[in-house]
A and B are shown apart, each in its own frame.
Chain A
């Protein structure tokens, strides 16, 4: 599959990362901005979807405003427990992102739960089941940049 995006694809992508119009025909509105037909906008977004670039068009929620609690967690885990890590996080929808990193703290994940108690219970469960050696919660003290919009 051709992974190349042309300039219009990139403009559309930058635009929809900021906002998808709340309108009955959002793609028609986008089309007017870019001088394209509704069908053309839809087919360009569909292609970027098939390429795995666009994952979802939907609301990005301000989770604390819903009483939810989320945090980034750094952990240390031995290589031999990586399989347990994978198995464990697979079954926990509240763990939304998980990465292995080439750092002393080699396992990083984010958890978002209904409330703080549930959040901490999930961290406890992962610690136990995946045999994490060290675990540290890293809440944001301040956010300087929440970038999703890229100049691409």
Chain B
């Protein structure tokens, strides 16, 4: 292959054009054949260096008008259980174990998206009621200052 993996992913990261043979223009830009581009992308997925080749979406215009980040302070022994049970809630899109910014290391972070405020509040209530949850903070975003991707490459942090 002529280009490095990094050059390849940077070019692919710009995203496909919406046309019948979208990999063709990418292939031309990279000086590769269409088939080589497809095979190389599949190989990067196989190696786990690319999670998947897919659409990135914005939730807001889809009708997810209400959203919140919930920080649940939990009992240390309940971390895994709360994480797993919280993940099963339908309105929860992301769920991580992180430290609280105040230094409390026993926190579960849940991103909650709902079509309306009621669903978000219900979900927050369900999180609060999970065994082992001591306290929840609900942080709503008041402004989205930025939502982009690095060199067009989407990541999940």
Contacts and interface: CB of A to CB of B under 8 A. Distances in A.
Nearest to B82: A144
B25 interface: no
B157 interface: yes
* Interface residues on chain B, size class: 35 or more
A108 B147 CA distance: 12
Contacts of B137: 103
* Interface residues on chain A, size class: 35 or more
B61 A150 contact: no
A60 B18 contact: no
For chain A, what secondary structure do more than half of its interface residues adopt (helix, strand, loop), or is it mixed? mixed
B157 to A, nearest CB: 4
A60 B92 contact: no
A145 B101 CA distance: 21
Interface in B38-61: 38, 41-42, 44, 47-61
Contact of A96 (B21, B38, B146): B146
Contact of B16 (A58, A70, A109, A138): A58
A54 B55 contact: yes
Contact of A145 (B19, B93, B146): B93
B146 A102 contact: no
Closest 7 CB pairs of A and B: A145-B87, A144-B83, A56-B15, A103-B139, A136-B101, A98-B145, A74-B101
